[in-house]
Amino acid sequence: MNGEMSVIVRTITRFVYGLIVVFGFYVIMHGHLTPGGGFQGGAVVATAFALLIVAFGAAGLKGKLNDHLLQSLEEVGALAFLVLGFIGIGTAFFYNIIANSGAVFGSPTPIGPNPGFLNTGGTLPWMNWAVGLKVMTGLASVVLVMLVGAREEEET
Protein backbone atom coordinates (compact mmCIF):
# COMPACT_ATOMS: atom_id res chain seq x y z
CA MET A 1 0.00 0.00 0.00
CA ASN A 2 1.52 3.30 -1.05
CA GLY A 3 -1.38 5.59 -0.22
CA GLU A 4 -2.60 6.27 -3.75
CA MET A 5 -6.26 6.95 -4.37
CA SER A 6 -8.28 5.61 -7.31
CA VAL A 7 -7.57 6.45 -10.95
CA ILE A 8 -10.52 8.87 -11.11
CA VAL A 9 -9.12 11.02 -8.31
CA ARG A 10 -5.64 10.95 -9.82
CA THR A 11 -6.84 11.96 -13.29
CA ILE A 12 -8.96 14.84 -11.99
CA THR A 13 -6.07 15.94 -9.79
CA ARG A 14 -3.84 16.15 -12.87
CA PHE A 15 -6.42 18.41 -14.54
CA VAL A 16 -7.25 20.64 -11.57
CA TYR A 17 -3.80 20.99 -10.01
CA GLY A 18 -2.46 23.47 -12.56
CA LEU A 19 -5.65 25.53 -12.50
CA ILE A 20 -5.50 25.89 -8.71
CA VAL A 21 -1.84 26.94 -8.80
CA VAL A 22 -2.50 29.52 -11.54
CA PHE A 23 -5.48 30.91 -9.63
CA GLY A 24 -3.40 31.19 -6.45
CA PHE A 25 -0.63 33.05 -8.28
CA TYR A 26 -3.27 35.35 -9.81
CA VAL A 27 -4.62 36.15 -6.33
CA ILE A 28 -1.08 36.90 -5.07
CA MET A 29 -0.16 39.02 -8.10
CA HIS A 30 -3.30 41.17 -7.98
CA GLY A 31 -3.24 41.49 -4.20
CA HIS A 32 -2.96 45.28 -4.33
CA LEU A 33 -5.83 45.67 -6.81
CA THR A 34 -8.50 43.08 -6.07
CA PRO A 35 -9.64 41.24 -2.93
CA GLY A 36 -6.89 38.88 -1.91
CA GLY A 37 -3.22 39.07 -1.23
CA GLY A 38 -0.27 37.04 -0.11
CA PHE A 39 -1.97 35.11 2.65
CA GLN A 40 -5.03 34.10 0.67
CA GLY A 41 -3.16 33.22 -2.51
CA GLY A 42 -0.59 31.25 -0.54
CA ALA A 43 -3.37 29.30 1.14
CA VAL A 44 -4.89 28.53 -2.28
CA VAL A 45 -1.56 27.21 -3.63
CA ALA A 46 -1.07 25.16 -0.44
CA THR A 47 -4.48 23.61 -1.15
CA ALA A 48 -3.12 22.40 -4.49
CA PHE A 49 -0.15 20.82 -2.68
CA ALA A 50 -2.52 19.14 -0.22
CA LEU A 51 -4.60 17.80 -3.12
CA LEU A 52 -1.45 16.33 -4.71
CA ILE A 53 -0.39 14.70 -1.45
CA VAL A 54 -3.83 13.23 -0.83
CA ALA A 55 -4.29 11.93 -4.38
CA PHE A 56 -0.84 10.45 -5.02
CA GLY A 57 0.15 9.55 -1.47
CA ALA A 58 3.25 10.69 0.33
CA ALA A 59 5.23 7.73 -1.02
CA GLY A 60 4.41 8.61 -4.62
CA LEU A 61 5.83 12.11 -4.16
CA LYS A 62 8.94 11.06 -2.24
CA GLY A 63 11.46 12.30 -4.80
CA LYS A 64 9.50 15.25 -6.16
CA LEU A 65 8.48 17.22 -3.08
CA ASN A 66 10.97 17.21 -0.23
CA ASP A 67 10.21 19.11 2.92
CA HIS A 68 13.74 20.49 3.29
CA LEU A 69 13.30 22.52 0.09
CA LEU A 70 9.89 23.72 1.29
CA GLN A 71 11.28 24.87 4.64
CA SER A 72 14.20 26.66 2.96
CA LEU A 73 11.76 28.48 0.69
CA GLU A 74 9.68 29.46 3.71
CA GLU A 75 12.69 30.97 5.41
CA VAL A 76 13.56 32.80 2.18
CA GLY A 77 10.05 34.30 2.15
CA ALA A 78 10.27 35.37 5.79
CA LEU A 79 13.70 36.97 5.27
CA ALA A 80 12.50 38.75 2.12
CA PHE A 81 9.54 40.17 4.05
CA LEU A 82 11.84 41.40 6.82
CA VAL A 83 14.27 42.98 4.33
CA LEU A 84 11.38 44.70 2.53
CA GLY A 85 10.27 46.08 5.86
CA PHE A 86 13.75 47.41 6.54
CA ILE A 87 14.08 49.10 3.11
CA GLY A 88 12.27 52.22 4.30
CA ILE A 89 14.07 52.44 7.64
CA GLY A 90 15.40 55.90 6.65
CA THR A 91 11.94 57.36 7.25
CA ALA A 92 10.13 54.74 9.29
CA PHE A 93 9.92 51.01 9.65
CA PHE A 94 7.74 49.60 6.83
CA TYR A 95 7.77 52.95 5.02
CA ASN A 96 6.73 52.49 1.41
CA ILE A 97 9.79 53.91 -0.35
CA ILE A 98 9.08 52.50 -3.83
CA ALA A 99 5.61 54.04 -4.16
CA ASN A 100 5.35 56.96 -6.62
CA SER A 101 9.08 56.71 -7.39
CA GLY A 102 8.89 55.37 -10.94
CA ALA A 103 10.71 52.10 -10.25
CA VAL A 104 9.13 48.68 -10.83
CA PHE A 105 5.63 48.75 -9.28
CA GLY A 106 6.32 52.43 -8.56
CA SER A 107 4.05 54.42 -10.86
CA PRO A 108 1.38 56.51 -9.13
CA THR A 109 -2.21 55.38 -9.19
CA PRO A 110 -5.05 57.73 -10.21
CA ILE A 111 -7.16 58.97 -7.31
CA GLY A 112 -10.69 57.64 -7.16
CA PRO A 113 -12.28 54.57 -8.73
CA ASN A 114 -10.20 53.25 -11.63
CA PRO A 115 -9.79 49.99 -13.57
CA GLY A 116 -6.67 49.09 -11.62
CA PHE A 117 -3.10 49.15 -12.93
CA LEU A 118 -0.68 46.36 -12.14
CA ASN A 119 2.41 48.60 -12.06
CA THR A 120 1.41 50.41 -8.86
CA GLY A 121 1.69 49.74 -5.17
CA GLY A 122 5.36 50.24 -4.29
CA THR A 123 6.55 47.60 -1.86
CA LEU A 124 3.09 46.03 -1.58
CA PRO A 125 3.38 43.56 -4.51
CA TRP A 126 6.88 42.54 -3.41
CA MET A 127 5.63 41.93 0.11
CA ASN A 128 2.65 40.02 -1.30
CA TRP A 129 5.02 37.72 -3.15
CA ALA A 130 7.26 37.24 -0.10
CA VAL A 131 4.35 36.46 2.22
CA GLY A 132 2.70 34.30 -0.44
CA LEU A 133 5.86 32.22 -0.82
CA LYS A 134 6.12 31.91 2.94
CA VAL A 135 2.49 30.88 3.49
CA MET A 136 2.31 28.43 0.59
CA THR A 137 5.49 26.58 1.50
CA GLY A 138 4.77 26.68 5.23
CA LEU A 139 1.28 25.21 4.92
CA ALA A 140 2.42 22.68 2.31
CA SER A 141 5.22 21.44 4.56
CA VAL A 142 2.80 21.21 7.53
CA VAL A 143 0.36 19.12 5.49
CA LEU A 144 3.16 16.96 4.08
CA VAL A 145 4.78 16.30 7.45
CA MET A 146 1.48 15.60 9.22
CA LEU A 147 0.29 13.15 6.55
CA VAL A 148 3.64 11.37 6.29
CA GLY A 149 3.88 11.08 10.07
CA ALA A 150 0.36 9.65 10.38
CA ARG A 151 0.99 7.16 7.56
CA GLU A 152 4.25 5.94 9.09
CA GLU A 153 2.52 5.40 12.41
CA GLU A 154 -0.17 3.28 10.74
CA GLU A 155 2.33 1.02 9.05
CA THR A 156 4.47 0.26 12.08
Among the residue ranges 8-16, 19-27, 51-59, 94-102, the one whose residues contact another protein (CB under 8 A): 94-102
Among the residue ranges 2-10, 15-23, 27-35, 47-55, the one whose residues contact another protein (CB under 8 A): 27-35
Report 32-61 residues binding another protein (CB under 8 A).
Answer: 32-35, 37, 39, 43
User: Would you list the DSSP string of 31-86?
Assistant: TTTSS--HHHHHHHHHHHHHHHHHHHHHHHTTTT--HHHHHHHHHHHHHHHHHHHH
By C-beta, is 52 or 133 nearer to another protein?
A: 133
Handedness of CA 53, 29, 18, 72 (dihedral sign): negative
Query: How many whole angstroms separate alpha carbon 35 and alpha carbon 140?
Result: 23
Task: Give me the 56-85 binding string for another protein, x by CB under 8 A, dash otherwise.
Answer: -----------x---x--x---x--xx--x
The verdict on 97 binding another protein (CB under 8 A) reads no
The verdict on 136 binding another protein (CB under 8 A) reads no
